[in-house]
Structure 1
Amino acid sequence: MAFVFKIIESNNINLVIPLVEKLNEYKISFEVLEQRFSEMIKQNYECAVIFDDDKVVGVSGLWYCTRHYSGRSVEPDHVYIDEAYRGKGLGKKFFKWIYDYVLSKGYEAVELNTYVSNHPSHKFYYNEGFKILGFHFLKKL
């Protein structure tokens, strides 16, 4: 299989919503996701995707910032690979592409959050060399 990794154009952002819906533990509606993604693409955000021909089979948002403890960093967000494509090394290739891409943009660190219940992702990120630095807290207002 020949996969294509790329940053999706902002006018095609809704192509990722079906995959994000599968990851969506909070059961946020398609309409709300559509509205939120339309706002996100106007912020310090890009969306990387994996194409298998014309089908989107993987997604990762990329949030950019500078932090006092890590410098210029990127945060992969809502990382998801279609179940039919898992276990084939695609995640490792995708993250290698992401590392190379953000290094070319001058970024020096990658940090992310993952759901506590998502044990397969924990193993993947450990194997990628990530270290746990803290806890992520959320309070809805």
Structure 2
Amino acid sequence: MKDSNIAIRLIPKQDITSIVPLLQKLGNNSVPKALLTERVQEMASQNYQCVGIYASKVLIGTCGMWFQTRHYAGRSMEIDHVFIDEAYRKQGIGKELMEWIYVYAVQTDCRWVELNTYVHNFPSHKFYYNQGFVAKGYHFVKEL
């Protein structure tokens, strides 16, 4: 990482709603802010943690982490809503974030890190392939 003012650290549960503006930039504009805030607070009461990327104390990026035990992997971490503000992209921050994630996953006894990414998000596919991830399947959803 080039900028020494960049810090990566866990976001305390009491500050978890600080990620809402970044989630809105990620493409959750169809979810009203109040509902998004409510959902994030509920997530924080589950097996969920969130890491923040800060530039001089300003939150510029985020990555959620779900912890579970999978029959095929054992204890695992699933990362989601990875987002870095556009002004800070292409500076190696994403790579540093992923290194932080891998270390934290090992520290929390995870044997596996997994993620989903939208099929149309080709830049993320390239990034994750370069990080050593492999596509193992499709993530299907059915809205009810």
* Match in the other structure for 1:28: 31
Pick the aligned partner of 2:44 from 36, 41, 46: 41
Pick the aligned partner of 2:54 from 51, 54, 77: 51
* Match in the other structure for 2:143: 140
Which 4+ runs in 1 deviate beyond 3 A? none
Pick the aligned partner of 2:66 from 52, 63, 67: 63
Q: What does the per-residue CA deviation read over 1:71-96, in whole Å, with 9 as the maximum and x for residues that have no partner?
A: 11100111100000000110000010
Q: What does the per-residue CA deviation read over 1:82-125, in whole Å, with 9 as the maximum and x for residues that have no partner?
A: 00000011000001001101111111110000011111100000
**Cα distance in 1 for residues equivalent to 2:28 and 2:37:** 16
Q: AA paired with 1:123? A: K
**Cα distance in 2 for residues equivalent to 1:103 and 1:27:** 35
Calculate the TM-score normalised by the size of structure 2. Answer: 0.94
Pick the aligned partner of 1:95 from 94, 98, 105: 98
Q: Shift of the alpha carbon at 1:24?
A: 2.0
**Cα distance in 2 for residues equivalent to 1:15 and 1:56:** 8
Q: Shift of the alpha carbon at 1:26?
A: 6.0
- Structure 1 residue runs without a partner (length 5+): none
* Match in the other structure for 1:10: 13
Aligned residue pair count? 141
* Match in the other structure for 1:73: 76
**Cα distance in 2 for residues equivalent to 1:110 and 1:26:** 27
**Cα distance in 1 for residues equivalent to 2:67 and 2:98:** 16
**Cα distance in 2 for residues equivalent to 1:16 and 1:86:** 18
Pick the aligned partner of 1:116 from 110, 115, 119: 119
- Paired-residue identity, %: 46
Q: AA paired with 2:78? A: E
Partner of 2:115: helix, strand, or coil?
Answer: coil
